[in-house]
Amino acid sequence: PAERIAGLIPFESGSSASLFRCVIKRPEPLRMEVNGDIHTNAPDVITQFLAELRVYRSVGRHHNIAGFVGCIPGVGMVLEQIEGQTLLPRIRAQPPAAVRVSWYNQLLDGLAHIHSFDLSHGDLNTLNIIVTPSDTIKLIDFGRSVGALEKPQVCSRPFTSPELLRGDRADGLLCDAYALGMLLVCIDMGDLVDVDPAIQRKNEWAPDYDQLKLFASRVKGYL
């Protein structure tokens, strides 16, 4: 269907066809024998693949979410190829304030779109965000996404919310909000922040707000 490639730019067009660069994301379960017993991560891999597929099929096209083209049976998901870097090296490059504010607005736009379908991202961090050469944000990797009534999973440090670290009941959308607050700390500080999980679990950690020049008030709301 034409809507599947809406927004994708062909790298070559001819009289009868257009060519697009895409990537295939293929699930790769592991299987090993330990002391005569067979162990596999196949159930986890399948769960994550289906969670990601649900997000792409639910949210449709959005300029801040990696484009989903479709699935090839027996092969995997076909996604748009995104030129750029993950957010972490771009943060460390210390871009101008206007660029960082634009990143935040785009992160919020993409995340709000996902949340409007009662789905979470589930693992929002500096490596699951691509920044294109034109400073467009693209959210990727939705394998830990959960629905409104589903139990969220512990995600990457230091972006996991205190209630998840404690094993308490948690809301996936609110956990995304906490992760967004931690992302803003990283964007403002210009690097990945290191937080002791034992302190974070007790909800006793907070950044030095005097050092946050752009997002102090926003971070207070999210954390």
Say yes or no: 100 and 53 in one domain: no
Res 16 pLDDT > 90: no
Looking at residue 86, its pLDDT comes to: 97
Closest to 117 (Cα-Cα) out of 81, 86, 142: 142
Say yes or no: 19 and 101 in one domain: no
Looking at residue 120, its pLDDT comes to: 97
Say yes or no: 110 and 71 in one domain: no
Say yes or no: 113 and 69 in one domain: no
Say yes or no: 56 and 93 in one domain: no
Res 8 pLDDT > 80: no
CA dihedral 113, 104, 87, 116 (to 10 degrees): -10
Say yes or no: 14 and 108 in one domain: no
pLDDT in tens, 125-141: 999 999 999 999 999 99
Question: If you average pLDDT over residues 71-88, what whole number do you get?
Answer: 93
Say yes or no: 60 and 128 in one domain: no
32, amino acid identity: M
Domain boundary among 35, 63, 80: 80
pLDDT in tens, 197-218: 899 999 888 889 999 999 999 9
Supply the Cα-derived Rg of the chain in whole angstroms: 19
Spatial neighbors of 36 by CB under 8 A, at least 6 apart, are: none
Res 89 pLDDT > 70: yes
pLDDT in tens, 156-193: 989 999 999 999 999 999 999 999 999 999 999 999 99
pLDDT top residue among 43 and 146:
146
Q: Structural domain of residue 97, as residue ranges?
A: 85-222
- Residues 144, 153 contacting (CB under 8 angstroms): yes
Looking at residue 92, its pLDDT comes to: 96
Looking at residue 2, its pLDDT comes to: 59
Say yes or no: 63 and 162 in one domain: no
What CATH code is carried by the domain that includes residue 210?
1.10.510.10
